[in-house]
Structure 1
C-alpha cells in the first residue's frame, strides 16, 4: 500500500468513525437528554483543548520541517565540498590529480547508487561509504606539497574534505525517524481527546454539523500524516533526494 493510499484510508476512517459515533449517539440519546443545549463550561474546555492541541501540532510540524531542511542543507554541503575538492585538485600532478578525482567519483557513485537505498531502509549510513571518504582524506593528507601552489591549496582542500565528512556524519544522524515516541503518544492521544470533545458538544445530525465534524477529523488525520511523512528526511514520499550530487557530478552515471 502506497503512502498516499494510506493517507486516504486514514482520513476516510477518521471521518467514518466520527460520523458513525454522532449518528449512533443521536439515535440512542435518552428522552431526557437535551441535545439542543451545551453547558458553557464544556464549550470553554473544548475550546482550550483545541487551542493547546493546535499549538502542539504546530510545534511538531515546525520541528520535522526544520529537521528536513537541515538534512537537505547537509546533503548540499557534502556534495558542494566534494565538488570543490575535485576542482581544486587541478594544482596537483596529473597522476595524483586523476587518482583523487577517481576516488571522489567512486565515493559519490557509491553514495547515490548504493548507500542511499540502504540509508532509506535501515536509517543509517554504511561503513564502506565512510572508508571511501577516508581514503580521499588520507591520500591528500599523506602527500607533502611539492610547490608553493600546492602548499596554498593544501589547507583549503583539507577543510573541504573535513566539511564533507562532517556533513556525512550529520546525514547519518538525520537518517531514520527523528520524532521521539513520547511526542507521538502526545500527538495521537491529543487527537483522540480533541476529536472526542466533539461529542461533548452534543452536535446533532444536521448536514452542516456532520460536514463540519467530518472535515475536522479529516484535517487532524492529514496533519498527523504530514508529520509522519516529514519525520524521516530520507525516506517516504516527501524526502530529501540525491539531486545535489546529480547536479554537481553530471558526468557520473548516477540514479536520479
Structure 2
C-alpha cells in the first residue's frame, strides 16, 4: 500500500468517524439538551487540552524532522566522501587506481542493493558492508606514494575514507525509529482526546459545524501521519535517501 493511499485513508477515516458520531448523536434529540449553552469549565478544558496537545505534537514533528535531516546529511556525506575518494585517485598509478575504484563500486552496489533492503526490514547494517568498506581503506593505505602529488593525494584520501566511515557509523546509529513507543502512545491517545473534546462543545449537525469538525479531525490525522512518515527516514523514504549514491555512482548503484 502506497504512503499517499495510507494518508488518504487515515484522513478519510478520521473525518468519517467524527461526522458519523455527530449525526448519530443528534438523531434522537434530548429534550433536556440545550445546544446553546456550554459550561465554561468545558470550554476551558478543551482549550487547555488543545494547546498542550499542539505543543507536544509540534515538538514531535520538529524532532522527527531534525532526525530526517540528520539522516539525509549522513548519507550525503558518506556518498560524497566515497565519490571524492574515487576522484582523487587520479594521482595514483592506473592499476592501483582501478582496483580501489572497483572496491568502492562494490561497496556502493552492496550498500544500495543488499544492505538498504535489510535496513528496511529492521536488520541494521551488516558485517559484509563493514568488510567491503574496510577493503577500500586497506587498498588506500597499502600503496606507498612515490611522488609529491601522490603524497598530497594520500593525505586527502585518508581524510575522505575516515569521513565515509564516520558517516556510515552515524547511519548505523540512526537506522532505528526516532520516536519511542511511549511517545507514540501519548500522541495517539492525545489525538483521540482532542477529537473527543469536539463533542463536549455540543457540536450540531449543521453543514458548517460538520465541515469544521471534519477539517479538525483530518488535520490531526495528517499531522500524525507526518510524524509516522519521518520517524524512520531510512525505511519510508529509501528512494530519496539513496539519491546521493544513485547520482554519484550511477553504474554501481543503478
1:64 corresponding residue in structure 2: 64
In 2, distance between residues paired with 1:182 and 1:41? 29
What is the correspondence of 1:109-124 to structure 2 with a 5 Å cutoff? Answer: 109-124=109-124
1:202 corresponding residue in structure 2: 202
**1:217 and 2:195 are equivalent in the alignment:** no
Q: What is the SS of the residue equivalent to 2:205?
A: coil
2:235 corresponding residue in structure 1: 235
Aligned length: 254
Q: What is the SS of the residue equivalent to 1:176?
A: coil
In 2, distance between residues paired with 1:208 and 1:80? 53
Closer, same or farther in 2 for the Cα pair 1:228/1:78, shift >3 Å? same
In 2, distance between residues paired with 1:164 and 1:128? 16
Q: Name the TM-score, length of structure 1 as normaliser.
A: 0.92
> Root-mean-square deviation (CA), in Å?
1.8
Larger CA deviation: 162-171 vs 85-94: 85-94
In 2, distance between residues paired with 1:69 and 1:166? 17
> 1:64-102 CA deviation, whole Å, 9 max, x = no partner?
111111111111111111111111112222221111111
Runs of 4+ in 1 over 6 A off after TM superposition: none
For the 8 Å contact 2:105–2:252, the answer to whether it is kept is no
For the 8 Å contact 1:74–1:167, the answer to whether it is kept is yes
In 2, distance between residues paired with 1:210 and 1:70? 40
Gaps of 5+ in 2: none
2:245 corresponding residue in structure 1: 245
Shift of 1:124: 1.2
In 1, distance between residues paired with 2:75 and 2:123? 15
Q: Name the TM-score, length of structure 2 as normaliser.
A: 0.93
2:98 corresponding residue in structure 1: 98
Q: What is the SS of the residue equivalent to 1:240?
A: helix
> 1:125-170 CA deviation, whole Å, 9 max, x = no partner?
2221111001111222233333333332222211110100111111
In 2, distance between residues paired with 1:96 and 1:5? 50
